Amino acid sequence: MNQKYIFKTKQLLFTVLIAATALSGCKKFLDINENPNNPDTAAPDLLLPASQAATGQIVGNFFQIYGNIWAQYWTQNPTSSQYKSVDQYNPAATAFDRPWLILYRNALINADLITKAEGSSLEYIKGIAYLMKAYTFQVATDAFGDIPVSEALQPSLFPAPKFDAQSVVYDSIFNYIDKGLALVSVENSASPGSQDMVFQGDMENWVAFANTLKLKAYLRLSYVDAAKAEAGVKALYATEPAFLTVDAAIKYLSTGGNENPLYNEMASPVLNKIQNLVASSTAVNHFDDIDDPDDNNDPRLAKLYDLLVTDSAAKTERSIPQGTYNSYTGKQVSPPSPLVGARANNTASATAPVKFISAAESYFLQAEAVARGWASGNVAELYEQGIQASFTAVGAGDATDYIADAPDGAAALGTTLESQIKAIITQKYYAMCGFQGFEAWTEWRRTGYPDFFVKSDASIIGAGKMPLRMIYPSTEATSNKNFPGLVSIDKPVWWDKKHQ
């Protein structure tokens, strides 16, 4: 016998009803997707230090290493191997992934977000952010040439930012400087105070920074577009600008994670305080050639390097020629001093500053503007102020004797434009040793000075070729549809007319 079972409609309906009631409470039950771990807004004064510290990592670490090696202050230590590819002029594209990331994803985006912040009394901090953007874009374009600017930092509008010509990048830089200058010059606004890692909210210094940066940027165009440079400098001087008399720099701390970025890199568990960077004979012998008593005898040398004496028994070398690490195996070579943050096993390196623009640089820029006849003033006076500022910065005392006696001192200035440019840039080169390697290498690219660079012994690029730019990063090549293609290291950037 079979019995058929009948669905009880009422019971079924009741079940459905319960389910439906439960579901109406669902909406609230599911509304839990707000991130409890990370804020989705950030006040501008919290973003500013991240932006500044990121530029500090670039100028003070990555580009410091490349710059100081390519400006021939430093070379690879024969007893280690980390930067061989830099001395070989053969860095991989992947080597620039991280600096490019820091430039755009740490320095520039955070500055950009500040400039777009809404609220009152934000003039000063927005002004600083514009100036950080201008400064950082200039560092980036001086390194890589054409870079994304107009379509950069707008992911929803431009998921694949196009690369702008360097001339366009420079126009944007001037635009950002003007915007920044106007904002930092207003009478009254809220000071970012200590959240400003460079000047601690001193807006007079930011005005001077803006003027000096503008001078620096126009002078960079002096060979590729002299008319534009001249007009720009003259317009700037017409505003009776104040220029920097102090370093625009981040001062680092000995606390772990707050140290000078190069020292922090060297002290990391991976590099483990191994000294990879040592004195290159190119710089050392021009500061003070030990075989020539009548040379510069520059007292700054002993401040910038922890000098060793060449001694075959002790296996020590005062310096080695650029890129000769293979010829000096087992030799100890003078390392840079903790003053510049590059002495790996000396904790005093931790507090070395990272200089965005130095006081000495400011004077040398002004001296060049005057020398070129684009500004009024006294070339020799500004030149000597620059040298003195450099001596003061490294604790080398009074520069009067040096200026008087050194072949590269007052005597070098001469009267022709070319001799003056040569003297100014060569002195700027000495002043930037260890602190501003990237800018020194960049000014060599622009002016051809100093004229005593040699080809690295380790170079594996063709005869007569020198590194004239950094390589585009491979991450951008693989992710950006508008990537223009790799450009080789020996191809000059747009403003570089000395290496065509």
**Assigned token pair, 331:** 């030799």
Q: Which residues contact 240 (CB under 8 A, 6 or more apart)?
A: none
- Which of 224, 229, 233, 267 is in the footprint of other proteins by CB under 8 A? 267
Binding track, positions 104-143, relative to other proteins; x by CB under 8 A: xxx-xxx-xx------------------------------
* 64-93 residues near other proteins, rule: CB under 8 A: 79
Between strands 316-317 and 332-333, the pairing is parallel
Q: Which residues contact 193 (CB under 8 A, 6 or more apart)?
A: 200, 201
CB of 323 to other proteins, least distance (A): 18
- In whole angstroms, how far apart are CA 160 and each of 129, 253, 306, 476? 24, 38, 47, 9
- Report d(CA 79, CA 73) in Å as an integer: 18
- Report d(CA 89, CA 323) in Å as an integer: 10
Q: Are 55 and 107 in contact (CB under 8 A)?
A: yes
DSSP secondary structure letters along 428-487: HHHHHTTT-HHHHHHHHHHH--STT----TT--SPTT----SPPPPHHHHHH-TT-----
CB of 59 to other proteins, least distance (A): 12
* 14-33 residues near other proteins, rule: CB under 8 A: 15, 19, 22-23, 26-27, 29-33
- Which of 4, 293, 464, 485 is in the footprint of other proteins by CB under 8 A? 4
Residue placing its CB nearer to other proteins in the complex, 147 or 357: 147
* 425-464 residues near other proteins, rule: CB under 8 A: none
With 0-12 / 13-18 / 19 or more C-beta atoms within 10 angstroms meaning exposed / middle / buried, residue 312 is exposed
* 288-317 residues near other proteins, rule: CB under 8 A: none
CB of 349 to other proteins, least distance (A): 12
CB of 44 to other proteins, least distance (A): 10
Residue 277's H or E segment, with its range, is strand 277-279
CB of 280 to other proteins, least distance (A): 21
> Which residue(s) pair with 316 in the sheet?
311, 332
Residue placing its CB nearer to other proteins in the complex, 49 or 145: 49
CB of 106 to other proteins, least distance (A): 5
CB of 238 to other proteins, least distance (A): 36
User: Does the footprint of other proteins cover residue 327 (CB under 8 A)?
Assistant: no
Binding track, positions 215-244, relative to other proteins; x by CB under 8 A: ------------------------------
User: Does the footprint of other proteins cover residue 1 (CB under 8 A)?
Assistant: yes
CB of 173 to other proteins, least distance (A): 16
- Which of 24, 255, 312, 500 is in the footprint of other proteins by CB under 8 A? 255
**Assigned token pair, 377:** 């003033």
**Assigned token pair, 412:** 């070098």
Residue placing its CB nearer to other proteins in the complex, 1 or 227: 1
CB of 157 to other proteins, least distance (A): 9
Residue placing its CB nearer to other proteins in the complex, 287 or 325: 325
Q: Are 318 and 372 in contact (CB under 8 A)?
A: no
CB of 472 to other proteins, least distance (A): 11
CB of 199 to other proteins, least distance (A): 13
* 344-383 residues near other proteins, rule: CB under 8 A: none
Q: Which residues contact 449 (CB under 8 A, 6 or more apart)?
A: 421, 422, 425, 426, 429, 443
Binding track, positions 178-207, relative to other proteins; x by CB under 8 A: ----------------xx-x----------
User: Does the footprint of other proteins cover residue 40 (CB under 8 A)?
Assistant: yes
- Which of 476, 492, 493, 495 is in the footprint of other proteins by CB under 8 A? 476
* 142-171 residues near other proteins, rule: CB under 8 A: 147-148, 152-156, 158-161
> Which residue(s) pair with 76 in the sheet?
277
**Assigned token pair, 9:** 């409609």
Residue placing its CB nearer to other proteins in the complex, 54 or 213: 54
At CA 83, angle to CA 278 and CA 394, rounded to 5?
35
- In whole angstroms, how far apart are CA 326 and each of 9, 85, 330, 365? 91, 13, 10, 38
Handedness of CA 148, 150, 156, 161 (dihedral sign): negative
Tell me which stretch binds other proteins (CB under 8 A): 37-45, 70-78, 166-174, 362-370: 37-45
